[in-house]
Amino acid sequence: MKRGGVGGAKTQRAGAKFETSTAEDLIKDLVKLGYDIIAEHRPIGNQRTVHGHTLVNSFKETVEIYYQDGLYKLFYEPRDIDWKEHFSSRLKPDTAIYSAKSNVLTIVEKKQQETEGSVAEKLQTCDYKLQYYRTLTNPLGINVELFWLLGSYFEDKQESLRSVFEYMESKGSRYFFKRIPTPELKL
């Protein structure tokens, strides 16, 4: 972050807008696939914050979507998984998608920026993030995938970030630009 918060604040605003719009796109894509929203999860005392959604299709197959703290409050805690038993700090995913049918929890990290900066360095944390979520999810017998949803800045910089993208893929992490194609999700 630049002195006075100028650079970081701009990146944070761009990121927040990107996270919100891509979350809305995901819901729209699932509705197009025949899913209906049957629940919207909000914390008690803060009705403005959405922790997640539950969707179901005509075959009664559910997809659960969690945002940030919602993964812990709605997914891990009810299953008696305590992150503090394994790690000194907690990661908050931008989005997590769980399909009981496929038994896969897909963690989605979203990154967008408008100018040169350190956000691209965060892509290199993919192996730690995968280890973190797999450690928490292993006792449940649930598989974990890590997807990165990247904004137009990263799409424009593909060539200069080629080695970073290759590293991410070598660690079992996948990336997409602007939107995750729903066939890529294991629903």
Residue 171 has pLDDT above 60, yes or no: yes
The pLDDT confidence band at residue 2, using thresholds 50, 70 and 90, is very low
Residues listed for the chain: 187
Provide, rounded to the nearest whole percent, the portion of the chain with pLDDT above 90: 73
The pLDDT confidence band at residue 42, using thresholds 50, 70 and 90, is confident
Residue 4 has pLDDT above 50, yes or no: no
Give the predicted TM-score (pTM) of the model.
Answer: 0.87
Cβ atoms within 10 Å, residue 53: 22
Structure tokens at 162: 């080629």
| pLDDT given at position 121 | 83
CA 40/CA 25 separation, integer angstroms: 16
More confident residue, 115 or 183: 183
6: Cβ–Cβ under 8 A, 6 or more apart, which residues?
Answer: none
Averaged pLDDT of the chain: 88
Burial letters 82-116, b for 16+ CB under 10 A, else e: ebeeeeeeebebbbbbbbeebebbbbbbbbbbeee
The pLDDT confidence band at residue 12, using thresholds 50, 70 and 90, is low
| pLDDT given at position 43 | 79
pLDDT tens-digit series, residues 51-106: 999 999 999 999 999 999 999 999 999 999 999 999 999 999 999 999 999 999 99
What is the identity of the amino acid at 127? D
More confident residue, 178 or 15: 178
Per the CB < 8 A criterion, the answer to whether 77 and 84 are in contact is no
Direct distance between the N- and C-terminal alpha carbons of the chain, in angstroms, rounded to an integer:
38
Q: What is the CATH number of domain 3-184?
A: 3.40.91
CA 67/CA 82 separation, integer angstroms: 18
pLDDT tens-digit series, residues 130-157: 999 999 999 999 999 999 999 998 999 8
What is the identity of the amino acid at 176? F
